[in-house]
Structure 1
Amino acid sequence: MATLPDLVSTDVAELTAAVCDVASVSGEEGTLADAIEAALAAHGHLEVLRDGDTVVARTRLGRDRRVVVAGHIDTVPVKDNLPTWRRTTADGTEELWGRGAVDMKGGVAVALHLAAALTAPRWDVTWVFYDHEEVEADLNGLGRLVRVHPDWVRGDLAVLGEPTAGGIEGGCNGTLRAEVRTTGRTAHSARAWRGENAIHKAAEVLARLSAYEAGEVEVDGLVYRESLGAVAVRGGIAMNMVPDECVVTVNYRFAPSRSTAGAEAHVREVFDGFDVTVTDLAGGARPGLDDPLVTGFVAAVTAVTGGVPGPKYGWTDVARFAELGVPAVNFGPGDPMLAHADDERVPVDQVRTCAAALRAWLAGEAPERGD
């Protein structure tokens, strides 16, 4: 069986299958990290670094700007969808099926392939392959590098290979979770008038959410749609007791132009008069589309893939680059609607097209379809 070092300089679609076939559920990335490190160490134009199961490779050509290309190597648990297999659809589209094909080993394979192939890119490039993205944020390998080795991930632009179906999604929304709590007084449900029902009091919380109108905010030429909604409700002690507490958990997705402090202030304003506890808060990332380097990236990529950049409504690790003041975009093969699905699959030509587009931009070549 061919190994990653054997495949890294050949067809990027074959490489995608090989990367997927090395199972790497979160917490079990070591084997794939070893293979990636070995594949990259064989190329003398790269300096290879490692922290845990995160592998970093970078050129040191003395270019005036540096680009960071990053992707996570872990997946959600496998469910009878490895090893990979190929199918051809009725319209003749060849697809690669299997865990990680979308989220996000297609993007990882594109980066791995180009890291080996581009010995003299027009900018210095840092390639980051990191662990623990699909689990708790404090375990995230990219977040660990930002904290421990920030110099390893500094650059003038970051490209995160998250699945975007081959389009460009700029920056990302921020996210906030909060618990909105109501309190009452317990009593036997047969004598409910002696108590105060906390669940009934939560009706006003839900009414405010129902009446809430999501904002649309333009940031660097992209329009981000905000949202605020309930994602969980808990309350009640027993089936014969009036509940003395009810908690509505809400999730606020906010445009990257809004600070985390501003997001928290907005949520507290919406639920003025209620007890609000913020339980999770992460800022978004501006796309920075007015940066000349980003403009060039958009032009080169869309010349190959077509389409126009759009916003990333969800939160991704581009926000970690925002912490370093680095504009960041999401760009990779795979339909994000299929991420984590049992029928996860990616069009083979889409992987090749993404590789061709990224290569054309990094190498300063005339863009062509395919790779």
Structure 2
Amino acid sequence: MSEPQSLDILQELLAIPSVTGDEEAIAAYVERFCREFLPAGQVIRSGNAIIALQPSLNPAATETIVLAGHTDTVISPNNFTGKIHEGRLYGLGSSDMKAGDAVMMEIIRAYGRQWAGAYHLVHVLYDAEEGPYEENGLGPVLEEHGHLFRQALLAICPEPTDNLVQVGCLGTIHATVTFKGVRAHSARPWLGDNAIYQSTGYLNALAQLQPVDHTFGQLLYREVMHATTTTTNNTKNTIPDTFAININYRFAPGKSIEQACREIEELAFAHGAASVDFTDLSPAGDVNLENPALQKLIAISGQPPQSKQAWTDVARFSLFGLDAVNFGPGQGSMAHKENEYVEIAMVREYERMLLEFLGERG
């Protein structure tokens, strides 16, 4: 079986800036690319997301695999975009997750309408994953075009996993916990009531929280709740009457958003919070180790599966009713970092493993 060479595609993707909210150019590039190698009716544009259908000519192929990668990046400096040094290709999004996107696109280029693997393929390259949950481009794809792959056997998200299979994912909630006081001039604080000080019991309770471990077989997921930002609505010479704390709660698979929200509220109100407002609600991803395609992928990877101690769109596929897994060539340690890079050898190994899994016959 010949191995695709996706590095030139990756370099093209890295040359196109695609910070969340600015994905028009990269979507246009991906759409043109897919239409070059697949019939027009098998490429669908949905906003800044592209769905490419690649059915197999193999008469034994009866199941579908979805390959779903986001094309957007965070904002982070990179002084070496497009350069190769010591086996590393540099660029914003190289690990997270344009390397995985490039491999998907190389499968389209290398095999096009002659694909004869063990599965029918649906490629989804979508926007806005790095932003708020409600703005994620995969949501409209599932709502408007999910009928094309609702019965798929497995979805693979090529998140940066160092070529390891990472199962499930944590849910994540952002909430604004607000404490109230009485405004006063800072020279006469006895005329007011400092809202910041109202929160000290709550902040101390948060600081004392320990990770809560949840296990699924050999997989460990750790729940954590922390304050991440704070704001007041006053000038520097004013005792604040409002103090707002952003809380980020990462919760384990098997726990509903409703239950996780209740836990945030119970702790906050028990320590005098005036209000709790939820600003971003993302469910946890299911753990489906019994899925036969997932078992096959784990075997090909040659390593035991890992838990995903973060949120990914595996969760969104779980809500859709489709088993999904994280498996990609990028390095998790490089995600969102300055001067991000991907190891070229990791990309080549990922190409080999993914094609072995998909059963390309040559």
TM bucket normalised to smaller: 0.7 to 0.9
Aligned-partner Cα distance in 2 for 1:80–1:195: 48
For the structure 1 residues 241 and 15, does the alpha-carbon distance in structure 2 shift closer, same or farther, using more than 3 Å as the test?
closer
Amino acid at match of 1:311: S
**1:213 correspondence with 2:206:** no
Amino acid at match of 1:99: L
Q: How does 1:170-189 map to 2 (within 5 A)?
A: 170-189=167-186
- Displacement after TM superposition at 1:86 (Å): 0.7
Q: State whether residues 334 and 346 of structure 1, in contact with CA within 8 Å, keep that contact through their aligned partners in structure 2.
A: yes
**1:259 correspondence with 2:256:** yes
1:191-234 deviation line (CA, Å, top 9, x unaligned): 43343222111101111101212201113642111100111122
1:242 maps to which residue? 239
- Displacement after TM superposition at 1:360 (Å): 0.3
Amino acid at match of 1:181: T
Amino acid at match of 2:213: E
Match of 1:123 among 111, 119, 124: 119
**1:55 correspondence with 2:50:** yes
Q: State whether residues 82 and 99 of structure 1, in contact with CA within 8 Å, keep that contact through their aligned partners in structure 2.
A: no
For the structure 1 residues 129 and 189, does the alpha-carbon distance in structure 2 shift closer, same or farther, using more than 3 Å as the test?
closer
- Displacement after TM superposition at 1:77 (Å): 4.7
- Displacement after TM superposition at 1:269 (Å): 2.0
TM-score when normalising by structure 1:
0.86
Identity among equivalent positions (%) equals: 32
Aligned-partner Cα distance in 1 for 2:177–2:38: 56
Match of 2:356 among 354, 360, 365: 360
Q: State whether residues 78 and 340 of structure 2, in contact with CA within 8 Å, keep that contact through their aligned partners in structure 1.
A: no
2:345 maps to which residue? 349
Q: State whether residues 4 and 351 of structure 2, in contact with CA within 8 Å, keep that contact through their aligned partners in structure 1.
A: no
2:23 maps to which residue? 29
1:255-309 deviation line (CA, Å, top 9, x unaligned): 021000110111122223333222221101013112222111111222xxxx322
Aligned-partner Cα distance in 2 for 1:17–1:31: 15
Q: State whether residues 145 and 152 of structure 1, in contact with CA within 8 Å, keep that contact through their aligned partners in structure 2.
A: no
Amino acid at match of 2:49: T
Match of 1:73 among 61, 71, 74: 71
Match of 2:92 among 93, 99, 105: 99
2:166 maps to which residue? 169
Aligned-partner Cα distance in 1 for 2:76–2:147: 34
Q: Which moved more, 1:74-83 or 1:136-145?
A: 74-83
Aligned-partner Cα distance in 1 for 2:129–2:291: 28
Amino acid at match of 1:266: E
Kindly report the root-mean-square deviation, in angstroms, between the aligned alpha carbons of the 2 structures.
2.5
Gaps of 5+ in 1: 1-8, 89-93, 366-371
1:226 maps to which residue? 223
- Displacement after TM superposition at 1:153 (Å): 4.6
**1:339 correspondence with 2:335:** yes
What is the DSSP-based 3-state SS (H/G/I as helix, E as strand, rest coil) of the residue aligned with 2:72? coil
Aligned-partner Cα distance in 2 for 1:295–1:331: 13
For the structure 1 residues 138 and 357, does the alpha-carbon distance in structure 2 shift closer, same or farther, using more than 3 Å as the test?
same
Match of 1:114 among 107, 113, 117: 107
- Displacement after TM superposition at 1:28 (Å): 4.0
Q: State whether residues 116 and 360 of structure 2, in contact with CA within 8 Å, keep that contact through their aligned partners in structure 1.
A: no
Q: State whether residues 67 and 124 of structure 2, in contact with CA within 8 Å, keep that contact through their aligned partners in structure 1.
A: yes
Aligned-partner Cα distance in 1 for 2:51–2:133: 20
1:307-345 deviation line (CA, Å, top 9, x unaligned): 322111111122111111112111111212222333111
For the structure 1 residues 13 and 95, does the alpha-carbon distance in structure 2 shift closer, same or farther, using more than 3 Å as the test?
same
For the structure 1 residues 127 and 48, does the alpha-carbon distance in structure 2 shift closer, same or farther, using more than 3 Å as the test?
same
1:289 maps to which residue? 289
Aligned-partner Cα distance in 1 for 2:176–2:25: 40
For the structure 1 residues 40 and 233, does the alpha-carbon distance in structure 2 shift closer, same or farther, using more than 3 Å as the test?
closer
1:2-51 deviation line (CA, Å, top 9, x unaligned): xxxxxxx9522233223322343434434433333333334458922221
- Give the structure, 1 or 2, with the largest relative contact order (CA under 8 Å, sep 6 or more): 2
Gaps of 5+ in 2: none
1:320 maps to which residue? 316
Aligned-partner Cα distance in 1 for 2:286–2:261: 18
Amino acid at match of 1:215: V
Q: State whether residues 133 and 282 of structure 2, in contact with CA within 8 Å, keep that contact through their aligned partners in structure 1.
A: no
Q: State whether residues 184 and 195 of structure 1, in contact with CA within 8 Å, keep that contact through their aligned partners in structure 2.
A: yes
Match of 1:18 among 12, 20, 30: 12
Q: State whether residues 206 and 226 of structure 2, in contact with CA within 8 Å, keep that contact through their aligned partners in structure 1.
A: yes
Amino acid at match of 2:280: D
Q: How does 1:132-143 map to 2 (within 5 A)?
A: 132-143=128-139
Aligned-partner Cα distance in 1 for 2:127–2:49: 6
Q: State whether residues 121 and 362 of structure 1, in contact with CA within 8 Å, keep that contact through their aligned partners in structure 2.
A: yes
Aligned-partner Cα distance in 2 for 1:134–1:32: 15
- Displacement after TM superposition at 1:248 (Å): 1.9
For the structure 1 residues 87 and 140, does the alpha-carbon distance in structure 2 shift closer, same or farther, using more than 3 Å as the test?
same
For the structure 1 residues 141 and 190, does the alpha-carbon distance in structure 2 shift closer, same or farther, using more than 3 Å as the test?
closer
